[in-house]
A = this chain, B = another copy of it.
Amino acid sequence: MAVTAESVLAGDRLALSRLITQIENGVQESRATLDALFPYTGNAYLIGVTGPSGSGKSTLVNQLALKLAQAGDQRIGIIAVDPTSPFSGGALLGDRVRMSDLFANPNIFIRSMATRGALGGLARAADDAAYAMDAAGYAFILIETVGAGQSEVEIAKLAHTTIVVEAPGLGDDVQAGKAGLLEIADILVVNKSDRLGAEASARALENALALGVEINGNSDDGWQVPVLRVSALHGEGLPELVDVIYSHRRHLQDDRGWAERKNRRARSGLVRLLKESLYTAWQTQVSEDAVDEMAAKIAGGALSPEQAAKRLLET
């Protein structure tokens, strides 16, 4: 059954939840509802939160949502993107654990997404879910991505403010992750700041920032990426984090950066959709068997992928 745009706009949580389920499952009817909701989007502020496993991102996102809800008596949406959770796995469990925490709060709407399938499928679903929440009047939407994978980084960096979370004691190869994640961070958080090694982690990040500031992708707009010490579990440093988020928003608004990031997000989604649409249109003219046959030729070493693609496109 189609979810009406009216019910979502009226703030019906069940309707929003059902719409996002339809988006996840690629139900055709959800497209028309989204199209009808679209004119009401553009007001939500998107915050991407990413970082390695074990950094306590989920706790941070939950606590941040509560603080933001209090700060402005406003509604906060959470999209927890977890591509590693299949069928039965983490997303559902996570939902349940989180529900006990946040479900009681009528100003917070939390949704885990774990759609598998084609690359880009999850990014598109998360994007559409954020538009739906936006239209439903959520003032801030927190998009939490697990890990530091390429597509998750893509999702996080389409937000207006991107927070990268680190924590002490995650092992040596976190160092490499740090280097890359610095590039997309607007705010760096060292979570679990009460733990041994937190100060060293924070200083290492500050040093890395100082070294990399000239080549940092985000620094060209004049924003100084801050490093915050937070203990989400004990509530320490959260008011400061909320302040910094508001500062960054003001910075983007003064600077037209917000419009630019909105355009960037729109363009990225549009190009993804164009690629999918072009492929779908092309598929209707070619049999699946022809694709399978070419794949077998590649596997057998008879054709390179380039050659196989060219032949298929010529027919």
Contact = CB atoms under 8 A, between A and B. Distances in A.
Interface of A: 31, 34-35, 38-42, 52-58, 82-91, 93-94, 114, 119-120, 122-123, 127, 131, 146-154, 167, 170-177, 179-181, 183, 212, 215, 259, 262-263, 265-267, 269-279, 281-282, 291-292, 294-296, 298-310, 312-313
A104 to B, nearest CB: 22
In the assembly, how many copies of this chain are there? 2
Contact of A176 (B84, B151, B269): B84
A53 B85 contact: no
A282 B292 contact: no
A-B residue pairs, 4 tightest by C-beta: A149-B149, A90-B176, A54-B171, A84-B180
B35 A265 contact: no
Given A266-B295, A291-B271, A305-B273, A86 B183 contact: yes
Contacts of A183: 86
Given A150-B83, A291-B271, A170 B170 contact: yes
A174 B58 CA distance: 11
24 contacts: A34-B306, A42-B299, A53-B148, A53-B174, A83-B180, A84-B179, A85-B179, A86-B179, A86-B183, A89-B176, A89-B179, A122-B150, A146-B149, A149-B149, A149-B151, A149-B153, A266-B296, A267-B292, A270-B294, A271-B291, A273-B309, A274-B313, A277-B310, A278-B313
A172 B170 CA distance: 12
Contacts of A274: 279, 282, 309, 312-313
A280 to B, nearest CB: 10
Of residues A35, A58, A173, A292, which shows the largest number of chain B Cβ atoms within 10 Å of its Cβ?
Answer: A173
Nearest to A32: B306
Contacts of A310: 277
Of residues A41, A114, A304, A305, which shows the largest number of chain B Cβ atoms within 10 Å of its Cβ?
Answer: A305
B270 A291 contact: yes
Contact of A152 (B54, B150, B173): B150
Contacts of A84: 148, 150, 153, 176-177, 179-181
A265 B301 CA distance: 13
